[in-house]
Structure 1
């Protein structure tokens, strides 16, 4: 019996834990953690960070090692054929010596000739070279600055992706809350029309209402059931979208913290003081400014290609055969140090054309920045107007609810007293439904308009 009770308890606990209660902040956190595009932006930011570190190494000495082996079909020869023949037959050429002496001198001459052989058919080489840039026309500094700006741009892109993710999750969250409120409203409305249908059915039996009245109410009941079904379907799809944005399975059983609230906390806060300053703080504007800065550094990079470049070089080279001791079959080498100077002389104005093109690209980027700032300022003004308009609509919606409640109460009372028709009650119910629905829409519009404003001023975090 004990194990059975334990099993029941475990099943109940599992059923409770299966449904997740999510707040707006928890949905944001999951979305920021699981959003693939945002994770891609973070990885791109890491890429630019490493590129910036790589650019810094251009200031430092670079060491290169190289080695090789080469086999040739012929060896290098210091002596030509005539000289080799002469040395090998020098005794015979003299011609005045006896035969034995001639042979001895020929052998000595041949040994001298053989000593001049290089035996370079198999060559081994190895070298270590060090190079230190001294002056590169400013190209290294410009390249490093470009890498710094690219890293800033990647960070701004990540911020844009973050705000976009938060905006989408907020929109999906409040859509679910809105549809849940409308689902409860549709259920309440269905109860109202079903009660009216029941009352009319009783009145038909009593002979104080016609069948036509009953049919009208029945049609209204069917419409209310259809509306409830549509809202339920929309709510299910909205929950799936929210789960997908949060990185959860689409069929997850979730409940939102704000679903059961009658009031959603629609306080209006004005957070914009200087529109121009707010526009400049937008990540999109910062990215355009980054583009201008990169274009300017690119101009410097183009100009550096037409300036002198100076570098120190040094290293150690070894060879086998030994080039420094009569081509001896041993490894031997030498140190070297030098200065490398490169001065462009003539390239048919290629650098000048590139510099002009880069300056023009900078001007284009500056114009795009000005246009973007103007559009963002307009967007901020529109968002501020929408917030104020949403607040006014919500205030009007609350007043309309009071009137609709009173109108419905009077219609139901008059219907019970027999002084009002069925159609009057249905009209009052429809007006009540519309007023309640407008209030829900107005509350959600206040939330979304404030989100739009925060996104417009770059403070959606």
Structure 2
């Protein structure tokens, strides 16, 4: 009685554990993998980086404001005179014209009817060519200190802007490069997402396949175990030999080894799926597709041009081609002049805007700056030729990728169609193997078929079942690879994906 209660309790606990296991859909595995995968997170951050670079490039269309300040201490002041200066003083006539004659002490004489001044030696001279011989009556003193300026403490500050007017298309080309860089980062993120989805699907269907293989191995072991029990009874009754019993025992051992291998493979595959989904390695769960759907669905094909447009690899190469084209324009812009509008407000202490004052004073300035490149030994020409070659390389890479992907689409479609045919064939083989096993079992029980024939029928049944499982999984994977080649393998909508 106690033994029955113990068995009942264990059965209840086992059933409860099975019931409590969560069931995972394929889409749930994809979402968990996307949320956990570090490469996807890095790709998302790269998109954000590219977006910031694009916004930074857009700001170059606007004026650049800046402020500068400086302080300088000088050991000496600035003096415009080396010594005291004496300035001549002259009188004015009634009409306001200078009266030099009344302001000079020189003696005068008449030469050819014209008054001419005499120097200190009594010789006539021309005051225009020899002003040093003039003897002024009065002179004003200009002391050296009057022309000395306090420059020991100098404060200077400016605030202004520079507005690009024409840069040869350089700013537009750099903005285009940043914009295409953002699109490139998005395409690379999409490509990483597609690769991750393929990895998740492969691990998912591998687990489904091995679960089916484990169930099949258990069923096969049950058949052999029943036959082993029957053959022992027949040996006891003398209608079978020990050799027959040994052959069945060997098959039973082989079935036990095959079951162990299948269970080990299932555990390892489940760990791989747990790792990619970010779950604990030893976590147990049920898969929604654990019971394989034997109905094969024909894939939906789309035009080649549309498939190529869907592929993230083509999107990335297209953006690289656009970046190379924009870089070519940027290199060409180096041949063109650069024109900018500038405006500034300058303040200084001391200042000379109203005499020389040791206080702050300022003024506004507005101007246009132009830079025209003339000659630099072919530097700009070489960089332009290099940019043209880079554009041609990007174009050739894009064309080559399209050709290879078109071949990949054709191959994937053929393999998918072949896998569907194979699944249909293996399903028919199962029907025949089941019927053959039924006849062999009935014949063995009736004593008209040997144990060897029954074992052969059981082995054929196992092989047909196993091949059908492989065929069903192959259809799933071929459809997966076809979706990837057509560019229709998309990530599920989650909060972790970045909106384009």
**1:70 & 1:212 partners in 2: Cα distance?**
112
Change (3 A) 1:392 1:176: same
1:268 to 294, 298, 305: 298
Whether 1:290 aligns to 2:319 is: yes
The SS at the match of 1:337 is strand
My pick for the range that moved more, 388-397 or 222-231, is: 222-231
* Displacement of 1:68: 2.1
* Displacement of 1:119: 2.8
Matches within 5 A, 1:8-407: 19-72=21-74, 74-80=75-81, 82-83=82-83, 112-259=143-290, 261-272=291-302, 274-407=303-436
Q: Which residue of 2 aligns with 1:101?
A: none
Kindly provide the CA deviation profile for residues 80-106 of structure 1, in whole angstroms up to 9, marking residues without a partner as x.
Answer: 5x326x69xxxxxxxxxxxxxxxxxxx
The SS at the match of 2:83 is helix
* Displacement of 1:213: 1.6
Structure 2, unaligned runs of 5 or more:
1-12, 87-139, 491-500
Kindly provide the CA deviation profile for residues 393-442 of structure 1, in whole angstroms up to 9, marking residues without a partner as x.
Answer: 00000000011101111111111111222111111111111100111111
- Post-superposition, which runs of at least 4 consecutive aligned residues in structure 1 deviate over 4 A? 11-18
The SS at the match of 1:433 is helix
Aligned residues: 425
Change (3 A) 1:14 1:139: farther
**2:141 & 2:260 partners in 1: Cα distance?**
115
**1:245 & 1:221 partners in 2: Cα distance?**
36
* Displacement of 1:336: 0.8
My pick for the range that moved more, 325-334 or 147-156, is: 325-334
Q: Is the 8 A contact 2:72 2:155 kept in 1?
A: yes
User: Larger radius of gyration, structure 1 or 2?
Assistant: 2
**1:427 & 1:390 partners in 2: Cα distance?**
27
My pick for the range that moved more, 378-387 or 285-294, is: 285-294
Q: CA RMSD in A?
A: 2.2
Change (3 A) 1:182 1:318: same
Change (3 A) 1:66 1:17: farther
Kindly provide the CA deviation profile for residues 141-170 of structure 1, in whole angstroms up to 9, marking residues without a partner as x.
Answer: 111111111111111111111211211111
Q: Which residue of 2 aligns with 1:446?
A: 475
My pick for the range that moved more, 247-256 or 170-179, is: 247-256
Q: Which residue of 2 aligns with 1:92?
A: none
Question: Which of the pair is proportionally richer in helix?
Answer: 1
Q: Is the 8 A contact 1:280 1:373 kept in 2?
A: no
* Displacement of 1:351: 0.9
Kindly provide the CA deviation profile for residues 352-391 of structure 1, in whole angstroms up to 9, marking residues without a partner as x.
Answer: 1111111111111111111111100000000000110010
